[in-house]
Every structure is written in C-alpha cells, then in structure tokens.
Amino acid sequence: MTGAAVPSQPADSTPRSKEGLRPVTDTRLDKSQPVLEVTDLEVSFPSEAGEVRAVRGVSYAVRPGEVLGIVGESGSGKSVSSMAVLGLLPDSAEVSGSVKLAGRELLGLSDNELSKIRGKDIGMVFQDPLSALTPVYSVGAQIVEALQIHQEMTKEQARTRAIELLDVVGIPDPRRRVDNFPHEFSGGMRQRAMIAMAIANDPKVIIADEPTTALDVTIQAQVLEVLKKAQDVTGAAIVMITHDLGVIAGFADRVQVMYAGKPVESGSVDEVYYHPRMPYTIGLLGSIPRLDNTERRALTPIEGTPPSMVELPKGCPFAARCPIAIDRCREVEPVLSVKEGNTHPTACHRSHELAGALDPATIYPVPEIPAAVELTSVPREQREKVLELDNLTKHFPLTQGAVIKRKVGVVKAVDGITLDIREGETLGLVGESGCGKTTTLLEILDLPSGQAGTVTVFGKDVRGLGRADRKALRRDMQIVFQDPMAALDARMPIGDILAEPLKTHNWDKDRIAARVPELLEMVGLNPDHADRYPQEFSGGQRQRISIARALALEPKLVILDEPVSALDVSIQAGVLNLLDELKVKLGLSYLFVAHDLSVVRHIADRIAVMYLGRIVELGDSASIFDAPSHPYTQALLSAVPLPDPRRERERTRILLTGDLPSPANVPSGCRFRNRCPKFLTLSEGEQQRCHDEDPANSRLAADHVAACHFATALEVI
C-alpha cells in the first residue's frame, strides 16, 4: 500500500482529521490517582417496546497498572457501558453521568475530539479480531496508521515502531509478518495485532471487551500473557470485560459483577471469589463446572432468566431468581454500598446476614441427580459397545484450477481415529477448533461408505447397510447441535419440531400427540407451549427443546456437539444437570464434543483428546485430569483458567508456542513436535525419534493410552 492512502482504522468510527496530532496533555501519571473514573453512568436506548435501560448507574475507577474485571452475563450491560466510555454508541443512545480520563470529562465531547483520545489515551481490544481489522490493508499498515494519526512520525519511523510492537506482542518473524494481511494471520495472531495497535500510542487505559472469548484455551493463555506484558510495557490500567470468571480470577486485581445494567458486587478478586455476599455472585460461582473438582456433583443453577430491560419491575432486579429474597427485595432496589460486617460493597438487602447467620454455600438448593444404578455396577468391558470407530479417516483433496481440477494436496481432517463408547457412558471429545472434532461427528452421522476405517454403530458396520437399516440406525442415534437458535426451524411451532422425528419414523398420530407433551415435560418445559415458535423461548429453553427432539425416538446414543457453549453460565448449569439426569433415567450414552474442559470434566466418564486429526490421549476421566501424560493434554489443561484467584496466581502455565498447524501440512513423525514443550527438553537422539517416528498409543493404565514416545504423567491443575 502507498503512503498517500491512509487506511481506515476500524476501531475509529469517525473520519479523522490531520490536525491535533499533538498529545493533549502528557502529565506523568500519578499512581495513586485514578486514571479512568466513571461515575453514575447511565445508558438507555429507545426501542419499539419502550425505553431500554441498558446501563443503570455504573461507577468505577481504575488506577495506572491496575486491572479491573467486569463480569456479567449477556445483556447485563457490560459491553454497552464500555462503549459509552469510548463514545462509540449510536446517536440514538442517551448517555448520562460522568466519564473522566485523567481528570478530563469525556462525556459530551464531540466525536472529533474523542477520536483524538481513542487509540491514543484509550486503547481498545475487541472480541472479534477478524472484524476489527480491515481486511484490505496489511496489518503493518494498520498499525502505522494508528501511530501516524496520533503522533508526528515519518513513515519509516512508524514502520520500525510497528515491527517493534509486533515483536512485543510475540508475532514470530515480525519483519516479514508486518506486510501480511489479516487473513494470513490466525485468530490468536490477529488478537495480538489488535493488542499491538492498542498499545501503539502508550495508552493510559486499555479497554478489552471479551478479548479471548473467540479463541481456544491455549491461544487464550497466550493472549492473556501478551496482554499482561503489554500492561507492563505501558503501565496502563486495563478494564477487562468478560463473562468468564476463570479469566478474571487470574488476571484482574478487582472485580465488578454486573446484573441487569447495574454493578451488584465489587471488590478485590479475593474478596469477591472467597467471600461473595450477593446471591447472584454466589450463584454464578456455584454454577460453573470446575476443572479442579474431583467429585462429581450436581451444579447449582440460578433459576429463571434475567429480566427484560424494558420497564424493569421495582425492587431488586434479581429478586425473582434469588433463593433468599424477602418482601423488602421486591419493594426497594438495594444500592451498592458496604453493608455491616462486609468488607466490600454489594447491592443486596441481606448481605450482612450472608456475612453471619446465612451460609452463602447453602442458600442455593442443590438439585438431586439420581445416581446411576444398574449400568455403572457392570464393569465397562461387559457392557455393550454402542459406537466403535476403527481407524476412521477423512481426507479432503485440495484442488486448484477452475476448469480442470488438479489435486495439489490433501487436508487430513480426520486421520485415523479409534475409539469406542459403551452403553451408559459419556465420552468427552475435546480439542481446539480445527482439530477435526466436527468432521469426526459428521463422519459418524453421515453413515459414510467411503474412505478408510470403519464406523460400527450398535454392532453393525455402517458400510454394508441398506436404506431401511440406515433409517433404523438414525432412530437410535441422535444429535444436539451447538446453536439452539440455528438448530430449530424458526418457522415451525415447537410441537411440530418435536413431532418431526416421530412422523419420520412412522409413528401414528395419537402416539405423537401423546408423546409431544411428555417430551416437553421431560426437559422441564410447559407442555401447553407446544404451539409456540422457537423465538419465544430463551437460549436455555431452546437448547432443552433441541434435547427433547433428540430424545423423541428414545435413542441409545446422543451426540452432543458443544451443547452448552452458546449459553450463559447460569443457564448452562441447568442444561448440564438435565443431561446428567436424562442419562441416568434413560440409560443413554453420550458422545460429548466440547472445547471447554471444565464442562467435559463435569459430564464425561471417559475423555479423548484430539489434536490435528488424531486422538493423542484417551482414558477415563480421572486419569486424564489427574495424570495427563501427553504434553498436549498437559498444555491444554494448564491453559484452562480456574475461578480461584489464589490457585490461579500460584499456577505456572505451560504455554504452547505457535498455532495449530494446518491439517493440509501435517508435520512428519509426531504431529505435535513443533509445538511440544517436552520436545525442547529432549536429547538430540530422542528428538530425532519424534521427528521420524509417528508415536503409537502407549498404554499407561488399564484405561489410559497416550500417543507419545515419552509419555509421563504430570499434575497441571
């Protein structure tokens, strides 16, 4: 790109002018003075249904070098409040209150004036790094632009600085990479580039809005590390917005929990995590499955869904979901203040009791999950195999040319997978995006007839099956998809949606009519709602409908493709409990695909860890989590943040270098060797072995295999 054209920086929504490049004030930051101070911020939007009060009085202050975490579920107003701070809300939004950056009021400034602050004094990191970078300009050019807008610099100086910045955020070979375009970067690298851009002008504050939500755990660990480094370099304050309590635990100094547009609890991470005094926070902490939890117990979901932000009822917005709500809670909305006996502010009428008479650990009723009876008492070997994959392979040819297609390579999406699922057990299939999980699922569900390897369902090899047999197999094997909105036909009432599998398998009308309400009741929905459309239900309820549909035909195997990853934590707990309960009641087997290891730990009996089209480690849940033996499993587990600040601080992360290689270009020998932390510690001869020899599964315990030449157990949680 040429110097004449100034690329547009996406973070900057306004046409920027060339004037005013001089820094506004460059006072040395006083460490004790808050650099960003938000007081009584309120935001409302007009909507057809009425005024949406998205943010209802948010106040916080961050000092240089401090990290403030803002947590909340979707719709709690956490992102809207940060957008209001940046002045990036649409004109229709009404914003009141005060936002002071180093003593200067930002609210009421014109867009032009704000443009001079955004990207200079306030750096921004957004959730989706792909849409935050302009695809038509090189990454370097976009950083150069960010530099030149705010500082007097020649092109060469700016370019040199851009390379420096890319180096700081850990982009390998920055000199070459600086000229790459965003699509040539992986997701993690794009987010690093965004961070580079955010720190380009030595900002006083960095606002990071869900910076790692779209990334895999190992990449998340890398990016958090980079963010920390960026903070060390600039000494900036960070406002980190996320829904992930684990990320905040290790990263933030202070936390603010938001609910229905208002902070309901705030304090240091230790105070909030170890002494939560607001039932919502207590519920949130209790509803997340934890990686460090050895005993399997039911999660405590917060019942109900957050209230609509239009015409909020009077009183505490959480009262309807609160297990300890009293009459006063329904009349008067509590203010955020330090209650008697507490050390940090909460917005709850009963906080003082939670510090004394009421035990926070017991206020939520623990739902009872019936214990599995018959099946678990039978040893695994004697149970029937429901699904068996033997060396399942799926390669896609990579072709070039428009008219005559030439084969130029092979994408080894699934490259020899062997596993089995027995009756009544849950197999968790984990791995990062791009490792071939979904392809594996589709291969099973498509009942393929080609390529290498066999799929055996209920003892039948799917290859030789006729039409009728295939249909019969489909009855016994059902799927629940990730996104409950996309998986339900929006134009069908849910009664028809549930009746569809039954109709397909020739149930008669009366039986269908009886079965539909039964199914709805089974997943905890009201049978009267059969003639409503899917969009009248919330995300969690839709996922329940999906589950009900999958169970309609009383299948034996249910394939769950990330069934809770689109749901908020408090809702997720309810769905996980339901899955647990149904499994026991109906004797189901699950193939549970997920990227969230904490969820998998909660639900799975056995775990298969997948890397680049292969299973690298397979075993029962206890051995995988307590004695992970493949270096990849170890890295994966160590990258998962725990919602426990003290342990989080003590943990050392195994950081993987680089990104997942393309399945079109699988390394020779061991496919993990170029990212393997263990590889680096090996002697040359041993390294040569990893280089040349594809590791076979080595058996470590009765039900535990790892595909590594030098597998040794390591405790990482």
Report 437-466 residues binding other proteins (CB under 8 A).
445
The stretch near other proteins (CB under 8 A) out of 529-537, 601-609, 681-689, 703-711 is 529-537
Give the chain's length.
717
Is residue 368 a contact residue for other proteins (CB under 8 A)?
A: yes
Q: Could you say which of 478, 621, 633, 638 contacts other proteins (CB under 8 A)?
A: 478
State in angstroms the smallest separation of the CB of 500 from other proteins.
Answer: 7
Identify residues 554-573 at the interface with other proteins (CB under 8 A).
Answer: 571, 573
Minimal distance, residue 421 CB to other proteins, in Å: 17
469 binds other proteins (CB under 8 A): no
Q: Which of 124, 152, 151, 126 is nearest to 36 (CA)?
A: 124
Q: Map tokens 């051995």 to a residue.
A: 623
Site for other proteins in 286-305 (CB under 8 A): 301, 303-305
Cβ–Cβ < 8 Å for 634, 714 = yes
Among 134, 268, 538, 565, which residue interacts with other proteins (rule: CB under 8 A)?
538
Q: Nearest distance from residue 49's CB to other proteins, in Å?
A: 6
Determine the interface stretch with other proteins among 197-205, 426-434, 526-534, 608-616 (rule: CB under 8 A). Answer: 526-534
- Does the footprint of other proteins cover residue 49 (CB under 8 A)? yes
**Integer Cα distance of 290 and 308 in angstroms:** 30
Distance CA 239, CA 234 (A): 14
Q: Is 416 in the site for other proteins (CB under 8 A)?
A: no
Scanning 49-57, 135-143, 354-362, 700-708 for contacts with other proteins by CB under 8 A, the matching segment is: 49-57
Query: What token pair was written down for 518?
Result: 């039964």
- Binding to other proteins, residues 124-163 (CB under 8 A): none
Q: Name the token pair of 533.
A: 């459309």
Residues 58-77 close enough to bind other proteins by CB under 8 A: 72, 74-77
Q: Which is nearer to other proteins, 500 or 694 (CB)?
A: 500
Q: Does the protein bind other proteins through residue 635 (CB under 8 A)? A: no
User: Of 140 and 334, which has the nearer Cβ to other proteins?
Assistant: 334
362 is a contact residue toward other proteins (CB under 8 A): no
Spatial CA neighbour of 120 closest among 197, 67, 178 = 197
Position 400 contacts other proteins (CB under 8 A): no
Q: Is there binding between residue 483 and other proteins (CB under 8 A)?
A: yes
Residue 208 CA from chain centroid, whole number: 15
Count residues near other proteins (CB under 8 A). Answer: 93
Is 44 one of the binding residues for other proteins (CB under 8 A)?
no
Among 6, 93, 107, 492, interactor with other proteins by CB under 8 A: 492
* Other CB atoms within 10 Å distance of the CB of residue 213: 14
What six digits make up the tokens of 305? 């869904």
Question: Does 330 engage in binding with other proteins (CB under 8 A)?
Answer: yes
DSSP one-letter string for 467-492? HHHHHHHHHHEEEE-S-HHHHS-TTS
- Shortest Cβ distance from residue 677 to other proteins (Å)? 36
- Work out the angle at residue 74's Cα, subtended by the Cα atoms of residues 70 and 80, and round it to the nearest 5 degrees: 60
Write out the DSSP string of 171-220: -SSHHHHTT--GGGS-HHHHHHHHHHHHTTT--SEEEEESTTTTS-HHHH
Q: Which stretch binds other proteins (CB under 8 A): 60-68, 343-351, 362-370, 430-438?
A: 362-370
- For residue 496, the 8-state DSSP code is H
8 A C-beta contact, residue 234 and residue 196: no
Q: Which of 11, 35, 41, 52 binds other proteins (CB under 8 A)?
A: 52
CB of residue 280 vs other proteins: minimum separation in angstroms? 14
Among the listed ranges 106-114, 129-137, 313-321, 696-704, the one in contact with other proteins (CB under 8 A) is 313-321
Q: Is residue 409 part of the contact set for other proteins (CB under 8 A)?
A: no
Is the distance from CB of 606 to CB of 572 less than 8 angstroms?
Answer: no
Token code pair at residue 474: 């489909």
CA atoms of 83 and 58, how far apart (whole Å): 13
Joined together, the tokens standing for residue 135 give 């695809």
CA atoms within a 13 Å half-sphere pointing along the CA-CB vector of 316:
27
113 lines the binding site for other proteins (CB under 8 A): no
Judged by CB under 8 A, does residue 537 bind other proteins?
yes
96 CB neighbour count, 10 Å cutoff: 14
489 forms part of the interface with other proteins (CB under 8 A): yes
